[in-house]
Structure 1
Amino acid sequence: MPFPPPKTEDSRQRFEELRTTAKDALEEIIASANETGWGTQEIVAALIEAAQSLKDAATVDPDPADDPSIPEAVREQIGHGEQFD
């Protein structure tokens, strides 16, 4: 489900728009998972844990898109005594 762009710059209104859209997306996920045999409570618990994991990762690295790619990081190590498989 694509998220629409924000309609306002007001932080409270933006949050409310996003909360509503996110809730709609989660309801679709839950309905889809229910259809395949998952229980609502276990789905919600898994979603909460997944969201917390993403929040924790964003706290550690707020913009992972700025990180160098793995090949670039490996290239930087060449010649410094590291061995790669």
Structure 2
Amino acid sequence: MTFPSPKAEAPAQRFQEATAAARTALEQLVAQANEAGWGTEEISVALLEAARFLNEANRKDPDPADDPAISDTPAKEQIGHGELYD
């Protein structure tokens, strides 16, 4: 599944485009979940919970790509902290 790129520049139009694209994607996802044996209501509630989780994670760390990689931490700093080299 591919998600379309935004066409509009204005925030209100982008929101409308994003909402329409998300609805289409969710309809497809719910249909696939139904085929796999999940009920519409249970998968819808699960999707809402997953969206809340992602939104909260984004609020806490808006750009996780900027975080240092674990491999960037020297081994000496990891010892005794329950990390890889304990």
Bin for the TM-score computed over the shorter chain:
0.7 to 0.9
Q: Percent identity?
A: 50
In the other structure, the counterpart of 2:55 is 55
In the other structure, the counterpart of 1:69 is 69
Note the alpha carbon deviations across 1:64-84, whole angstroms, 9 max, x for none: 0111111113x1x62x58332
1:82 pairs, out of 73, 79, 82, with 79
- In the alignment, the residues of structure 2 paired with residue 13 and residue 55 of structure 1 have an alpha-carbon distance, to the nearest angstrom, of 21
Structure 2 segments unaligned to the other structure (5+ residues): none
In the other structure, the counterpart of 1:24 is 24
Q: How many residue pairs align between the two structures?
A: 82
